[in-house]
Each structure stands twice: as C-alpha cells, then as structure tokens.
Amino acid sequence: MTGGRELVMVSNRLPVDRVVASDGSTSWRTSPGGLVTAVAPIVEQLGCLWVGWVGAADEQLEPFEIGSMRLAPVELSEDDIELYYEGFSNGTLWPLYHDVIARPDFHRVWWDRYRRVNQRFAERVAEQAARGAIVWVHDYQLQLVPAMLRELRPDLTIAFFLHIPFPPSRLFAQLPWRKSVVEGLLGADVIGFQQVTDAVAFRMTAERFTRVPALGNTIVVPGTADHPSRTVLAQEFPISIDAAAFAEVAARPEIQQRAREIRAELGNPKTVMLGVDRLDYTKGIRHRLKAFDELLGDGEIDPADIVFVQVASPSRERVDAYRQLRDEVELTVGRINGEHGSIGHAPLVYLHRGHTRDEMVALYLAADVLLVTPLRDGMNLVAKEYVACRADEQGVLVLSEFAGAADELRDALLVNPHDIEGLKAAIVRAAHMPREEQRRRMRSLRRTVYDNDVAHWATGYLGAVRAAAESQRPSQTGHRTEPIQVSTAFVPRSIDDRVRRLAALPQLIVASDFDGTLAPIVPRPQDARILPRARQALEVLRSAPDTYVAVLTGRSLEGLAETGLQSEGWIVSGSHGSELTGLDVGAVAGAGEAPPLGSPLTDEEHERLQRIARRFERVLGGEPGVRLERKPFGIAVHTRQVADSEQADELMAAAVELGLAAEMHVREGKQVREFSVRDSNKGSVLRSIRAALPNAPVLFLGDDVTDEDVFTSLGHDDLGIKVGDGATAAVERVPDPETATAVLALLAELRTGIIIGSE
C-alpha cells in the first residue's frame, strides 16, 4: 500500500505506554484513545517505524520492536509534559479545536515549548527515516512537524492526519500563532481530516492567513527562491475501525458468556445502557448524567428496570478542566445513586479505569443501548465498535449530531446533546424500541461500518499519499520539480473550433451544471468534488473582463456548499433554478405569476411546503429505504435504497399522487422525484440571468435530463455541450467531466493567456 517505501508513523504517544508500578517494575499497555485503535491495525500489517513518546517522564529508551513495528521513543521531560502536552496541546489546542467547550488558554511559554518539542520529533524522524520514506504525522500535538521535516528531509513524502475537528476560521483566528500552525501543516503533501467541514475550514483558514489559493481540495503553495511551488491535498478521509477484528472477538463464546455475566451482575435489568468514553469534557458526560437523573426524578424510567453503566477511562488528569470534570462526575454519580438507588441496587455504575479489548466487547454485547453524546468529537470510534460487535442486529445507538460518526451513521437515534429534553426522549425511545426497528436500524448501521472500515479508509488515504509520493520527481537539488503541465489534447476537433470562436467574443457567459459535469459522480452526494482543474479554469474565466461564470445545479445552495465548492464571484443557482446568488436579477419574475427569482418563500408557499412535508412524513417516513430530503423550495423523495423495485415504484406513485393533490410541481429524476412549490427549471433561471447581464452568448455544459431545459433554450450563437450518453438537444458532446474540464481549460487559456495546470 505504501508502494514499497518505508512507512514512518509519528504521533505524540507511541501505540504502547510504559507503565511504572509502585514497586518500580515496568510493563507496556495499549495507549488510550481512538488514534491507536484506528491506526495500529493498519501498520501492524504493513510494518513501520513509529516515532513517539512512551507516556512517562524522562524515559531514555533505545528503539525496540513489537511485532512488525520498530518503536523509536522521543523523550519528554517533566517540563515538556507540563508546557507542551498538558499546556499547549491540551490546554490551548484541544479546547480551541473542540468549539471552545472549555476556555483555551494562550501562553507564550507553552507555545515556545510546543515548537521546541515539535522540532525534536522532526529531528528524530529525520535521523531515523530511510531515503524516500513515507512519513505519516498524526494529530494536533504535532502540527509543526510537517514543515520542519520538509526543511530537514526534502526527499520524504509527508502526510498528516488530524484526528480531531479543525475549527471554523473565526475560532482558529483567536490563536496568536495561527499563521505558524497553518504553515507547519502546509509542509505536508497530503492533509487528512475527519469531515468535509474540517477540510473546508482548513482550506479557508489557509487562504485567509497564508494567502495560498485553494483549487477544490488542492492548495497551491507558491515557490520561493529556494523551493519550487508545490501542491498540498487537503481533504476529508473519515477514519474507522477494524470491524472484522471486533466482530471476531464478539463471536467468541467466552465473550458472549461474559456479556451474560455482566447482565447478571447488574441484576438482569430490563435495559442496560452504556457510555464509554475517555473522561473528557468534550464527551457530553455531564449532559448524559443530567438527562438520566431527570428521567429517574420524573419517574419516566424505573430504577428497578434500568441500569446505566458509564465507563470513563482516566485522561489528562493534571489538566484543570479534566480534574474539575472528574470531581463533578463523581459527585453526581454518588448523588444519583443516593437518591434513586436501593440496598443492593444502584441504577448507575461508574467505572473509572481502562479495560481490555475483550471486556469492552463483552460490555458492548451486554448493552441494549449505547449513549454516545459528545458535544464535539472528530469521529468517535466507540459508536462504530458497538455496531461492529452487534451481529445479533439488536441494540440501539443514541448518537450526537456533533460526532463525526453522525455523518455516516444516519440510522442511529441522532440527538443534540445540549437539548436535554430531546436527549431524554431519545433515551426513552431507545429503551422501548421494538426489536424489529432495532434490527432494521442496526442492519443498516452495520452495512455502513463494514463498507467503510479501516481498510477502506487506509486505501483512500494511503492511496492519496502514494499518489503524492509517485508524483515526486527529485531534481538534483533534492527538491521535486513542479508537476504542472498543460494539456488540452482531449478536446474534440469540432468543439475546439467553436471554443476558439467563443473565446474571441467581447462578452461571454460560461455556465455549467455541477454533478456529473464539473464533479465526477460518486456514490454519496456529499463526497462529490469539483475537479481542481475545472475550478481553476472557471476562476480564471471569472476574473477575465466581460466574462461571467454561472453554475446551475439541482442541489440546494447549502448542499453545494457542503462539497466545499468555493464560488465567490460566481453566479450560482440552486434547487433547479429556485435559488440564486451572485447576481441581482431585480424584479425579474419567475415563470407565470410566481414570486421573483431568488426571493424567499412566501407565507403561502411556506405553509404549503409544511403541509406536504407532514403528509410525506406520515405516509412515507416509516418506509424502509425511502429518504425524504428537505430542499429550500420543496422535498425530494428518494427510493434508491428501497430493496424491492416494485415496491419502490408503488411508493413513488403514492408520493406523486400526494404531491399533485397538494399542487406541487413535480420534477423527475432517476429514483427520485422532487416536489417543489415553485415552477422553475435551469432553462428559466438561465433566461433570467441573461436578461440581467449584458447581451452575451452562452457556453453551457451539462449531463442530466434537467439540463435539457437549458439546451433547448440556447440560440444559434450559443454552444451547448452534453456530458456523457443519452438523448440531448445539445449540439456537441464530450464523454466525461475530465473532457468537460479540458474544454473549460482551453477556453480560459484562449481568453486570458493564463495556462491552466493539469490535475
């Protein structure tokens, strides 16, 4: 997977911690946290050199081996631990990157030590890594290492992965050393994030504080006298677990026996609820206990029926916010049991220690409900572990919307942990969920976790890293040469001629569909990304005089933004022409008597939309596989996931009937119908856009049936290009988004003289 190159891991902690007992004897145990859970199984297979701290102060140890890994310890003194680890890493960055749930402290001595310790890590790697190795740096404690390492060893390919969220730019802006942190990260060839929002936030932050432009997922770091320019891929790669390994433990008879014992030890209550977290203020443990306490107090749950087991592994115990949390949690646990327990029965069991993997899995099997309610979490692997273990398709996962895992685990009971009433309702619902519903949800969750396990993740992430490594062309100075080459060879002859004519016109409108045209189609819509070269071409065109760039998409503007598309200065229409930004079309009315284009919903429309939403929810909401997607001006009904195709057709027919009865406009797609209160389409919005701009010919590219409304509206001087197969009114055709991009690049180059780089 690493293309035969040596792999070097770098993280604050090694995958094992050295534990010194009171009698002075030492032993090793697995390090805490999700980083090791996710990453260790991959590198155990691949073999690697791992550089990190052993978890205890002032330990000077020679490199040693465990299995296929060679571990090279980095020493941390008591002062380093206080200033770099507890201070800057966990007193500044951790709270800042987790939505400032706790107040971050900014101290110059902490920062100073953070830099020095990062330098020490970089030097240790530089000493140890083989020539041309792939070095993979982990997490917020080591954000300066990529640039420091590049300086020391330009021959290495450097990857970075942030296991925690990246904060929105307005929060990151608080950090006095923000520019240095971004520059540190930009030393990497690939920067991986947990979620789209993290990657988008980083790219915006990088643009804001270091003025490096981002083209799609790619950031271009300009060259200097000593270093040529380079590109950095900054993209989301949601991390996962070795699902099969958990399943294997869960299948062992002695583990299942242990699960039964755990239930028996708890008094065989009707419901066992479980929480498993590091004792961290980001995990929402206080909120969870409050909800549980109130439910007992209100009499909504009977302490005789339910036991809540909270496993909290000790973490960062000398940091103030953690110490306070521990005191508070322990007080609350005592109070709840004091008020609601009885002799021989405590409704709340609190275990403040680490457990073996086997014991964790037995707990997962024993639990009817798992509560994962962080206020903010990069991913949360506990949620995925629970699902991976439940081969019996039973058990309910209650999951915070603010955990990265919520992006994937849509069939969990999703909650906002700040909403205590909502959390209470979810707990009650989970405790009473019928077995059949549990099965349906768990089945779908398991599919997601197995389809997206850590091997899948490693293929994507390490695949990107390997691609970066392959593109390295070391020159004599040891620096790679700039890979950008121009190629418009793709563009078919007949289109080439037409594009040359358009490029020479005084005014021009360049318009395009998004999915399938600028961005290749991917299985999950939120994963779609504009091709970097297409984005660059459109950006160059937008900056050219008398040239207007418009994107016309069926997505809502919000859905488009989720792809990370940066379209400042572009005209963008969403929801098939119902939404418009980037152009004031004034009082230009929509079709017929409709309200003006781009105007918000009228009261009447809002009311109508609410009515049909309620009706769809009632009639179709409980149907397995049907997805109702709320759009700004309507609702889309998706039946792609309905297992039986005949049933899918019937359900869709029912939806159409309901929609027509409510006077909605229906738009047809592949296994989706959109019901909209406004009668707009891409053709009508393009007409309005043209009317608001100086008279100019249009180049339009599109791949979908809905793009035909544009193609049929084009005149003699315009050029319509269909992307892909299928009947069309367009005069030209290209096979795929890559060729569509080549057309845009050619146009941009001819119109401006600026060369558009290849991807």
Three-class SS string for 461-503?
HHHHHHHHHHCCCECCCCCECCCCCCCCCCCCHHHHHHHHHHH
Q: Does 547 bind ligand ADP (CB under 6 A)?
A: no
CA distance 465 to 315: 32
Q: Which is nearer to ligand ADP, 230 or 278 (CB)?
A: 278
CA distance 571 to 549: 6
Q: Binding string, 308-327, against ligand ADP, x = CB under 6 A?
A: ---x-x--------------
In angstroms, give the least distance from the CB of 192 to ligand G6P. Answer: 13
Distances in Å between the Cα of 79 and the Cα atoms of 48, 59, 114 are: 30, 13, 11
Please return the burial class of 344, using the count of CB atoms within 10 Å of its CB with bins 0-12, 13-18 and 19+. exposed
Phi, psi for residue 588 in degrees, rounded to 5: -60, 120
Is residue 293 a contact partner of residue 333, using CB atoms and an 8 Å limit? no
Task: Report which secondary-structure segment, H or E, holds 651.
Answer: helix 645-661
Residue choice 208, 286, 290, 355 for contact with ligand ADP (CB under 6 A): 355
Q: Which is nearer to ligand G6P, 13 or 542 (CB)?
A: 13
Which residues lie across from 70 on neighbouring strands?
49, 65
Q: Does 95 bind ligand ADP (CB under 6 A)?
A: no
In angstroms, give the least distance from the CB of 42 to ligand G6P. Answer: 16
In angstroms, give the least distance from the CB of 400 to ligand ADP. Answer: 12
In angstroms, give the least distance from the CB of 377 to ligand ADP. Answer: 6
From 267-275, 341-349, 352-360, 464-472, give the range in contact with ligand ADP by CB under 6 A.
352-360
Using alpha carbons, select from 236, 383, 750 the residue that is nearest to residue 540.
750
Q: Does 388 bind ligand ADP (CB under 6 A)?
A: no
The catalytic residue positions are 163, 377
CA distance 417 to 415: 6
Residue 531 binding: pick among ligand ADP, ligand G6P, none (C-beta 5-8 Å cut-off by kind): none
Q: Which is nearer to ligand ADP, 33 or 216 (CB)?
A: 33
Residue 309 binding: pick among ligand ADP, ligand G6P, none (C-beta 5-8 Å cut-off by kind): none
Residue choice 362, 379, 635, 721 for contact with ligand ADP (CB under 6 A): 379
Q: Which is nearer to ligand ADP, 373 or 575 (CB)?
A: 373
In angstroms, give the least distance from the CB of 41 to ligand G6P. Answer: 15
Structure tokens at 585: 């079309």
From 31-39, 97-105, 132-140, 646-654, give the range in contact with ligand ADP by CB under 6 A.
31-39
In angstroms, give the least distance from the CB of 457 to ligand ADP. Answer: 13
Site for ligand ADP in 35-74 (CB under 6 A): 37
Q: Does 376 bind ligand ADP (CB under 6 A)?
A: no
Residue 276 binding: pick among ligand G6P, ligand ADP, none (C-beta 5-8 Å cut-off by kind): ligand ADP
Site for ligand ADP in 138-167 (CB under 6 A): none
Q: Does 458 bind ligand ADP (CB under 6 A)?
A: no
Residue 13 binding: pick among ligand G6P, ligand ADP, none (C-beta 5-8 Å cut-off by kind): ligand G6P
Q: Are strands 634-638 and 672-676 parallel, antiparallel or unpaired?
A: antiparallel
Residue 139 binding: pick among ligand G6P, ligand ADP, none (C-beta 5-8 Å cut-off by kind): ligand G6P
Q: Are strands 571-574 and 547-552 parallel, antiparallel or unpaired?
A: parallel
Using alpha carbons, select from 435, 434, 369, 429 the residue that is nearest to residue 397.
369
Q: Binding string, 257-296, against ligand ADP, x = CB under 6 A?
A: -------------------x-x------------------
Residue 639 binding: pick among ligand G6P, ligand ADP, none (C-beta 5-8 Å cut-off by kind): none
Q: Binding string, 184-213, against ligand ADP, x = CB under 6 A?
A: ------------------------------
In angstroms, give the least distance from the CB of 66 to ligand G6P. Answer: 18
Helix (H/G/I), strand (E/B), else coil: 360: helix
| DSSP-H helix ranges across 159-284 | 169-172, 178-185, 196-210, 243-251, 253-265
Is residue 583 a contact partner of residue 686, using CB atoms and an 8 Å limit? no
CA distance 199 to 564: 8
Residue 397 binding: pick among ligand G6P, ligand ADP, none (C-beta 5-8 Å cut-off by kind): none
The DSSP secondary structure of 606-633, one letter per residue, reads HHHHHHHHHHHHHHHTTSTT-EEEEETT
Helix (H/G/I), strand (E/B), else coil: 204: helix
From 33-41, 99-107, 261-269, 725-733, give the range in contact with ligand ADP by CB under 6 A.
33-41
**Contacts by residues 610-618 (CB-CB < 8 Å, ≥ 24 positions apart):** 611/662, 612/658, 612/659, 612/662, 612/664, 612/675, 615/658, 615/662, 616/655, 616/658
Token pair 């909209």 in the structure block, residue: 676
Residue 242 binding: pick among ligand G6P, ligand ADP, none (C-beta 5-8 Å cut-off by kind): none
Contacts with ligand G6P by CB under 6 A lie at 12-13, 32-35, 139, 163-164, 315-316
Residue 382 binding: pick among ligand G6P, ligand ADP, none (C-beta 5-8 Å cut-off by kind): ligand ADP
Angle ∠(748,754,757) on CA atoms, nearest 5? 85
Q: Does 453 bind ligand ADP (CB under 6 A)?
A: no
In angstroms, give the least distance from the CB of 510 to ligand ADP. Answer: 44
Is residue 199 a contact partner of residue 234, using CB atoms and an 8 Å limit? yes
The site for ligand ADP (CB under 6 A) is made up of 33-34, 37, 276, 278, 311, 313, 354-355, 360, 379-382, 385
